[in-house]
Amino acid sequence: MAPSTVTIEPALSDDEDAIVPLMLEFNRSEGVTWKPAPMTAALRRLLREPELGLVVVARQGDAGPVAGYGIATFGYDLEFAGRDAFVTELFVSEPHRRKGLGRGVLAALVELLRARDTRAVHLMVNPDNERARSLYARLGFVVSPRIMMTRELWPARARSTAT
């Protein structure tokens, strides 16, 4: 599939059923525990509430199947004097890789974020994923001098029953 046969556009609510199987693949590939009910509900909310962030999909042609997707969610940071965003997921299914789709999805996310007055975009990548790191560097991302640390705030019951 040549990049010219691909359409990358903001996702619609109707795209949920096509995105969820790709989310499962993404989470498995990243070693993230798949929590179908809360993760699908979070996607559904993100698709309905654009003030939370945005989702883009890459399709074969104008109405073809979804081959990849990207998700960015908003924050606000004084260091960047306003809105920032975090690319939380960027995934292209195996048959469509190495054809420029990942680059296209990320570039589309960045442009849509810029249009929404976003001052900085962050993402995480596994340190050993040289291909992704190289792509991100070519698109202007730099390694932060800080490390990311996370503390989950889900209620204990939600964590244990979500898997």
What does the pLDDT look like over 85-125, one tens digit per residue?
Answer: 999 999 999 888 888 899 999 999 999 999 999 999 999 99
Closest to 15 in 3D by CA, of 88, 72, 65, 53: 65
Per-residue pLDDT, 1: 38
Q: How far, rounded to the nearest angstrom, does the alpha carbon of residue 104 sit from its chain's CA centroid? A: 12
Residue 152 Cα distances to 104, 124, 145, 155, angstroms: 31, 17, 23, 9
Q: Pull the structure tokens for residue 60.
A: 């074969």
**Confidence class for position 154, pLDDT limits 50, 70, 90:** confident
Per-residue pLDDT, 49: 96
Q: How many domains does the chain contain in total? A: 1
CATH of the domain at 134: 3.40.630.30
Structural domain including 104 reads: 3-161
**Confidence class for position 160, pLDDT limits 50, 70, 90:** low
**Confidence class for position 157, pLDDT limits 50, 70, 90:** low
* Contact yes or no for 56/10 (Cβ under 8 A): yes
Helix (H) / strand (E) element for 76: namely strand 66-77
* Contact yes or no for 110/145 (Cβ under 8 A): no
Write the DSSP symbol of residue 32.
Answer: P
Per-residue pLDDT, 3: 45
Q: How far is it, in rounded angstroms, from Cα 13 to Cα 163?
A: 24
Per-residue pLDDT, 60: 80
Write the DSSP symbol of residue 33.
Answer: P
Query: pTM higher than 0.95 for the full model?
Result: no
